[in-house]
Structure 1
Amino acid sequence: MNDEELKALWQTQAQKLEENLLFTRKNAEEISKMKVQSALASMKPLKIFTIIVGILWVGFVDLLIINSWPFGNLFFLVSAAIQVILTKLAIGVYLYQLVLIAQVDLGTPVLEAQEKMARLKASTLWVTRLLFLQLPIWTTFYLNVQMLKQPLALFINLLLTVLFTWAALWLFFNIKYENRHKKWFRLIFEGKEWTPVIQSMELLDEIRDFQVEEEYV
């Protein structure tokens, strides 16, 4: 076998290796896209269920407020009004998230999908913050004038309200992506609300890397 034949053989093998590498990357990219679609699909049932339950809940509380308005306890009315407003805001965020999930199109440039996933991540953090702001309300809705006249009961309830308010504010200001590796954060967010978002973002990064590599091949 002369030099020309060896060179031709080497070029053929190199071409086959390059084609195999490209084929492997394409397969890996398609598998990653399927995983993203699966992760996003897994989020929909819980969000739809949460929206339905939330709508039923705010409808029930709205009726209570309306029917109790003429003679209702002021503590209950104010607490219920704040709770139902926060819940309605949360329902709005969940509806927004369903729209975002539906808009993620892996046939478009990956940057567009990444941008929507970033908005989905941010809205997940925000809806959790809103829901935790309800904590103090669960220590005030049952108060009445008679309880305020009992020093011990008033002190205990005031202490609970302060603690719940502190916890709500602390969580509101500390629930952010930078704290995702902390134990308390993982305890709150592990599950269908958060894990698929992070997995999808990581997979989209991989897809982007595959496409960048293909551009240089």
Structure 2
Amino acid sequence: MSKLKISSFKRLNLAVFQLPFWSVYWESVDAIKESPIIYGGINLLIFIMLAYVAYWLYQQLSYTNKESKVRDFFLSGSEWEPLLKSAEILEQIKEYEK
């Protein structure tokens, strides 16, 4: 269960990492040819903004940042709660063995 938790956490970080690259898919080659400065500049600004948002989310979702409201929002719900409970049980078992 702990490996599943780590896998889910890494998958979430990967999803955040790809956020700025979604802005690239909406580019039109014809529009870039007609006005590369305006259209390319706007797309570059959107890419930079999404890169900043992705970096901020990545920092907020850090495994060591346990008091983040963003982390609590994304890592909650019916699929995440059993993983957290199993991790607590594993920690209790390790403490009991000591």
TM range (shorter): 0.7 to 0.9
Could you tell me whether the CA contact under 8 Å between 2:60 and 2:71 is conserved in 1?
no
Name 2:41's counterpart in structure 1: 155
Q: Larger C-alpha radius of gyration, 1 or 2? A: 1
Name 1:198's counterpart in structure 2: 84
Q: How many residues align?
A: 95
Higher relative contact order, chain-length normalized (CA < 8 Å, sep 6+): 2
Counterpart mapping for 1:88-167 below 5 A: 116-117=1-2, 119-148=3-32, 149-150=34-35, 151-167=37-53
Counterpart mapping for 1:61-72 below 5 A: none
Cα deviation 1:102-134 (Å, max 9, x = unaligned): xxxxxxxxxxxxxx52x2222221111111222
Look up the equivalent residue of 1:197 and give its one-letter code. Answer: L
Aligned: 1:178 with 2:61: no
Inter-partner Cα distance in structure 1 for 2:58 and 2:89: 29
Counterpart mapping for 1:19-30 below 5 A: none
Query: Quick check: which one's helix share is greater?
Result: 1
Q: Percent identity over the alignment?
A: 27
- 5+ residue gaps in structure 1? 1-115, 213-217
Cα deviation 1:61-80 (Å, max 9, x = unaligned): xxxxxxxxxxxxxxxxxxxx
Cα separation, partners in 2 of 1:197 and 1:154, compared to 1, 3 Å: same
Output the TM-score relative to the length of structure 1.
0.37
Q: SS where residue 160 of structure 1 aligns?
A: helix
CA RMSD of aligned residues (A): 2.6
Cα deviation 1:136-183 (Å, max 9, x = unaligned): 222111213332233333322211111112222343455322113210
Inter-partner Cα distance in structure 1 for 2:46 and 2:21: 11
Cα deviation 1:89-112 (Å, max 9, x = unaligned): xxxxxxxxxxxxxxxxxxxxxxxx
Could you tell me whether the CA contact under 8 Å between 1:139 and 1:160 is conserved in 2?
yes
Inter-partner Cα distance in structure 1 for 2:94 and 2:17: 39
Output the TM-score relative to the length of structure 2.
0.72
